[in-house]
Amino acid sequence: MKDSPIYEDVSHLLKRSSVIFLVVEILFIFVAFYYWKIQILDYRKYWALSEANRTREAVLPAPRAVLMDRSGSVVLANSVASFKASIIRENSKNFDESCRKISRLLGLDEAVIKQRVDKYKSLPLFKPIVVKDNLTLEEVSRIEGRKMELPELVIETEPKRFYPFTTLAAHVIGCVQELTTDELRTTFKDRKLGDMAGKTGVESSYESRLAGVDGKIIEVVDSLGRKRDELDRIEPQQSPKLTLTLDYDIQAKAEELLTGKEGAIVVLEAKTGGVLALASFPTYDPNKFVNRFTPEEWMALANNPDNPLLNRAIQGQYSPGSIFKLAMASGALDSGAIVDQTTFFCGGSIQIYGRSFRCWFEPGHGPLNLYEALQKSCNIYFYNLGRRMNIDTIARYAEELGLGKRTGIDIPGEKEGLVPSTEWKKKTQKAAWYPGETISVAIGQGPLQVTPLQVAAMTALIANRGARVCPHILREGQGPTGNVKIAPAIFEKVIEGMWRSANMGGTGQGARVDKFDVCSKTGSTQIIGRETAERLGTQKKTHSWFTGFAPRNNPQVVVTVLVEFGGLGGVTAAPMAGQIFQLYKNKFYDRQSSSPGN
């Protein structure tokens, strides 16, 4: 046929094929780009993953530095070898099934295991996550016996912090705990998930000196995560031991005296501020914090009504009661409000500003000078001082003696306390200060708040005739830190009254120790006053205070005792302090006195 074309028109096929070739080219470019990204751009990531298939890097935690008492012979905290069980998610074919098996094997709740793993889900799958620590040898044996069945469960070793005397000096030494994610983002950016760090006490304040430097080990593992060879090892470095000012015998005695009570005892070296004992009761065992808490365990401890975590020596804030008469006497003498022989009459009560104020001794003490007023702790005498001195003058001298502000001790958590003034009341209550309020402050009541450590530091200042010391726990701490503006002669007069309190039948006679010249002051702080107790038909409740030092000349030791709801200071706190003074005298003072050349 003439009209038939010789060649068929294939233009539409060419168009289609060009589209197909374009698609293939695009796919080829995409595949090439993908391979370039894997091999060039992300090579480090995939190299690390491939290496992890045959090698594993494990951290070798450094043991924390040993803590010693002042003698250098008593270990207060060290590290012991411990085993922990960890799960490697990469080696688990069925995570839920793994959790069920591990739960039965280790006696753990399955939900606790999953909660623990979920906490660290951001870690790479090949990183081990601790599910149980402090394993017994029996648990280690059970895990080792089922290695083939549970390749995802491995045993790791770590140095565990150990406190051999359990509760002894717990509030001073402190405890270590696992770091939270928030802490890792802020304070401990150079640490990793699962690390332990000091949270309270010396463990916290000297963390950088205690932690040491971790080591590491690089090992070859098989497809089941089992170790086959070791490629490299860097040993951990333990930090040098730290020696504290604490004396084991005095600390143990202080805690023994507080057993069954609520309160605190502070014992200082008078001239240096070194803390020989800092006891707070009720207390706790810091070993419990080393093992990883469940939320329920933590809440049970934190909500304990006895509040064992509170360090009453530095965090408890109390009205000082008659202890404050030491500050009143110093301020009144220095300001010229009285002289040492100024006399006031105590008839058991007094009318001031239209209100009746009573002395603790209802029959009254009769006429007294300052020395006798301190000896007998007469309230009427100091009510009269309060009438002669305004609140701002009292506040100025109280603050000069270190009350109402932190002492600067080298453990965290210290509270400031409170010394009231006209400015304070105007700022906090938007009200004026009334002269009648000063009368209560004059005997250490009202809004006045101090810590036992502040009282001990003030007592050391008086003992040193005006030289300040900063309480410290580390043995290499400091001595005197300067002098107050009050003349030493003023403190000599206050000390005379304190000496009479312990040695001439005063309220502090319970602390008297033969041939040790104890100087003392007692106090009783009303928690439920006389009128309230009568209205409620119950007994008047008071905290029991004592503070003092010895010997009078060349003072060496300061003792401060607080017993919550302990009653009169001379009845409860003073005899307890007397036992501490006696122990110090036997252990240190007599030995110095009998040494050659003395």
User: Which of 322, 377, 520, 524 is labelled catalytic?
Assistant: 322
3-state secondary structure 131-197: EEECCCHHHHHHHHCCCCCCCCEEEEEEEEEECCCCCCCHHHHCCEEECCHHHHHCCCCCCCCCCEE
Task: Give whole-number Cα distances, 141 to 130, 154, 159, 187, 492, in Å.
Answer: 17, 12, 19, 38, 70
> End-to-end CA distance of the chain, in Å?
145
Are the beta carbons of 410 and 474 closer than 8 angstroms? yes
> What are the structure tokens assigned to 163, written together?
């406190």
Rounded Cα distance between 501 and 322, Å, is 12
Three-state helix/strand/coil letters over 282-299: CCCCCHHHHCCCCHHHHH
The radius of gyration of the chain's CA atoms, rounded to the nearest angstrom, is 35
Report d(CA 493, CA 508) in Å as an integer. Answer: 17
Please indicate whether residue 71 is annotated as part of the active site.
no
Q: Decide: 584 and 557 in contact? Cβ < 8 Å.
A: yes
Q: Helix, strand, or coil here: 280?
A: strand
- Cβ within 8 Å of residue 154, ≥6 positions away: 85, 86, 87, 88, 128, 225
- Of 254, 322, 269, the C-alpha closest to 506 is 322
User: Do residues 559 and 574 lie in contact, with contact meaning Cβ atoms separated by under 8 Å?
Assistant: no
Contact 364, 397 (CB under 8 A): no
Scored b (16 or more CB within 10 A) or e, 272-304 reads bbbbbbbbbbbbbebbebbbbeeeeeeeeeeee
Residues with active-site annotation: 322
